[in-house]
Amino acid sequence: MKVLVACEFSQIVTEAFIKHGHDAMSCDLLPAEKNYPHYQGDVLDLIINRWEEFDLMIAHPPCTYLTVTGNKWFKPEFKSRFPNRAEQREEAIEFFMLLVETEIPKIVVENPIGIMSTIYRKPDQIIQPYWFGHTERKSTCLWLKGLPPLTPTEIVNPNIVHYKTRRGTDDNWHVSTMKLPALERMKARSRTFDGIAKAMAEQWG
């Protein structure tokens, strides 16, 4: 298959599909971290003008303005700090919808739990890294077109960290990225877990 991995600079998913014999390329505004085929630019150039070249697209649109964890920044007390937050959310919604509505025959759009479950529709599946051999816990929504849900490959116990207040839990993956600079934190949290990428290539390839 010809596979487009949209909004991916890490090339983790791209690499998994290439290793399974597919013609895969990534696309992102950032340069690629590995040496596989990569289109550095706007993915809309590809899905609007060249969509017929691809059999499958796996997209990871930015979640900054879509995730429920960012809802607190819409409160009135943060208006002066984030004056354009509403417009940025509308732009993020529009981009998400352009991805899900492209003509590519098979589509996966991935995002954390967020507002698109209400604005668009509920995801077809919510997966966890600990279903695929990782101890991290990270709820990830998948909206699917022409593809079945992923089947867990190696379920392990998640490594859960309790807050000192005992009022909630977290995991090492999230805690370990908290102190990174903003750009590095964003990049670290956007990388697909290897076990999930491998399952995608094996089950959808």
Q: Are strands 160-162 and 169-171 parallel, antiparallel or unpaired?
A: antiparallel
C-alpha–C-alpha distance, residues 57 and 62, integer Å: 16
pLDDT at 65: 82
Domains of the chain: 2-204 (3.40.50)
Whole-prediction pTM value?
Answer: 0.88
Backbone φ, ψ for residue 24 (5° rounding): -115, 150
- Residue 97 tokens read as 């919808």
pLDDT of residue 163 exceeding 90, the answer is no
Residue 170 is given by DSSP the state E
| Contact assessment for residue 30 and residue 83, using Cβ atoms and an 8 Å cutoff | no
The residue to which tokens 């492209």 are assigned? 102
Taking only the tens place, the pLDDT of each residue in 77-95 is: 666 666 677 788 899 999 9
C-alpha–C-alpha distance, residues 134 and 148, integer Å: 22
pLDDT at 73: 58
